[in-house]
Amino acid sequence: MYALYFILVVVLCCIMMSTTVAHKMKEHIPFFEDMCKGIKAGDTCEKLVGYSAVYRVCFGMACFFFIFCLLTLKINNSKSCRAHIHNGFWFFKLLLLGAMCSGAFFIPDQDTFLNAWRYVGAVGGFLFIGIQLLLLVEFAHKWNKNWTAGTASNKLWYASLALVTLIMYSIATGGLVLMAVFYTQKDGCMENKILLGVNGGLCVLISLVAISPCVQNRQPHSGLLQSGVISCYVTYLTFSALSSKPAEVVLDEHGKNVTICVPDFGQDLYRDENLVTILGTSLLIGCILYSCLTSTTRSSSDALQGRYAAPELEIARCCFCFSPGGEDTEEQQQGKEGPRVIYDEKKGTVYIYSYFHFVFFLASLYVMMTVTNWFNYESANIESFFSGSWSIFWVKMASCWICVLLYLCTLVAPLCCPTREFSV
């Protein structure tokens, strides 16, 4: 239900950022201008569209989840009154969410509010990205540790590790080579060449650091599988960033405008602007929602707090994210730190309610910044969102470098603090 509320508001934000929807409403709704004047939204309802309207609606949604985050702090079971508020009263919650989103339009001194809220949104958006990157690094370490544990009883796990590592590096190398072919040219495209070289060099760097003797002495479980996963993600972010980069147009020898530094076959994909907008928006909503739901599990919360099972209690399995049969063994339950997961919630909660709402609070800010094109908000609209933007390009490149930095920190930190015990 919370995810449904989130989707409704995100769809509303996308509609508010659509110039096509605004024109269609003006053409097909009778007495449109009179209605806009009646609700004091401007002559053409300009106060209900654009980046400022999205800021206000997302402010209401962010406040909604933040209030529930505070309200659900320290809930240990589903029998308390506050837990009933979290798990019920859906109609009244929908009314509350609508009231908070609507009430944001009546905040006085709108200019000051929008300027201040923009910086809050940027911080929250980057924090949301940071959580996803931390969980990715944790996922890579967990994968390698789980499969390495299986090598003690079955040597076939060595073959599995080698095969998956080879696949990861093949994908990363192939992706970088293809981007060098399609996103660069013999003359020009220097920025693309530099970025591909830098990111390719970072993949080599983290691979060498992961297998260096000094790191291996402190972290025997460190290996090429983790660096292969990170390299694949770096390759993906590099491709996503280059795809989000505004097209470069130059004059050829005949005086015609020619687009360079992009694949020739990709230029035809943007002819049907409405189709691209609908598909792109659906994919964006799906990815953000998936990130929210996977980030709010008990295991994700434990990982961010540094809680892990003891290495000797690891049971190697292909689907290592889940315990066999859906439940932990008795030894694993006794060896884990923190509360044991009980799925009927009579004595405990399956996930941390306050952390759940906090992630959705950050996701609200991330949606606000993404839909309004981050720092190019004044000229933003949903139709041009997928045709290229420098703000989105640099956000993705920064995410790529932060991901590499976080992974390097997990490798180097035990060397810098030898007296401290690290879990990964």
For residue range 319-335, what is the model confidence (pLDDT) as tens digits? 555 544 444 444 444 44
Average pLDDT, stretch 380-402? Answer: 76
Q: Is the dihedral of CA 361, 365, 368, 370 positive or negative?
A: negative
Q: State residue 295's pLDDT score.
A: 62
DSSP, collapsed to helix, strand or coil, labels residue 244 as helix
Would residue 181 count as lying in a domain? yes
Residue 402 has pLDDT above 60, yes or no: yes
Q: State residue 85's pLDDT score.
A: 86
Would residue 316 count as lying in a domain? no
Do residues 245 and 388 touch, judged by C-beta distance below 8 A?
Answer: yes
Q: State residue 62's pLDDT score.
A: 94
Full residue range of the structural domain in which residue 120 is found: 1-262+270-302+351-377+398-416
Average pLDDT, stretch 34-43? Answer: 67
Residue 383 has pLDDT above 50, yes or no: yes
Residue 56: count other Cβ atoms within 10 Å of its Cβ.
Answer: 24
Average pLDDT, stretch 22-37? Answer: 70
Would residue 328 count as lying in a domain? no
Do residues 26 and 44 touch, judged by C-beta distance below 8 A?
Answer: yes
Mean pLDDT of the chain: 77
- Name which residue leads in pLDDT, 102 or 334: 102
Which of 48-57, 65-74, 298-307 has the least mean pLDDT? 298-307
> How many domains does the structure of the chain reveal?
1
Give the confidence band of 380 by pLDDT, cuts at 50, 70, 90: low
What is the 8-class DSSP label of residue 337? -
Q: Which residues pair with 257 in a beta bridge?
A: 251
Q: Is the dihedral of CA 187, 191, 194, 198 positive or negative?
A: negative
Would residue 230 count as lying in a domain? yes
Check: pTM over 0.85? Answer yes or no: no
Average pLDDT, stretch 239-247? Answer: 81
Give the C-alpha separation, 17 to 11, whole Å: 10
Which stretch, 162-176, 269-283, 343-357, has highest mean pLDDT?
A: 162-176
Would residue 326 count as lying in a domain? no
Would residue 234 count as lying in a domain? yes
Give the C-alpha separation, 195 to 201, whole Å: 10
Give the C-alpha separation, 205 to 366, whole Å: 30
Do residues 376 and 388 touch, judged by C-beta distance below 8 A?
Answer: no
Where residue 338 falls (left for φ over 0; alpha for ψ -120 to 50; beta otherwise) is left
Q: State residue 325's pLDDT score.
A: 45
Percent of the chain with pLDDT over 70: 70
Would residue 290 count as lying in a domain? yes
- Name which residue leads in pLDDT, 253 or 133: 133
- Name which residue leads in pLDDT, 43 or 422: 43
Q: Inter-axis angle of helices 224-244 and 110-150, to 10 degrees? A: 150
Q: Among candidates 135, 139, 146, 144, which has minimal Cα distance to 165?
A: 144
Give the confidence band of 315 by pLDDT, cuts at 50, 70, 90: low
CB neighbours of 317 closer than 8 A, spacing ≥ 6?
A: 146, 150, 324
Would residue 177 count as lying in a domain? yes
Residue 66 has pLDDT above 90, yes or no: yes
Q: State residue 302's pLDDT score.
A: 60
- DSSP characters for 188-234? S-HHHHHHHHHHHHHHHHHHHHHT-HHHHHH-TT--HHHHHHHHHHH
Give Cα 416 to chain centroid, integer Å.
Answer: 30
Q: State residue 95's pLDDT score.
A: 94
- Name which residue leads in pLDDT, 189 or 340: 189
Q: Among candidates 7, 3, 9, which has minimal Cα distance to 58?
A: 9
Residue 276 has pLDDT above 60, yes or no: no
CB neighbours of 54 closer than 8 A, spacing ≥ 6?
A: 13, 16, 17, 368, 371, 372
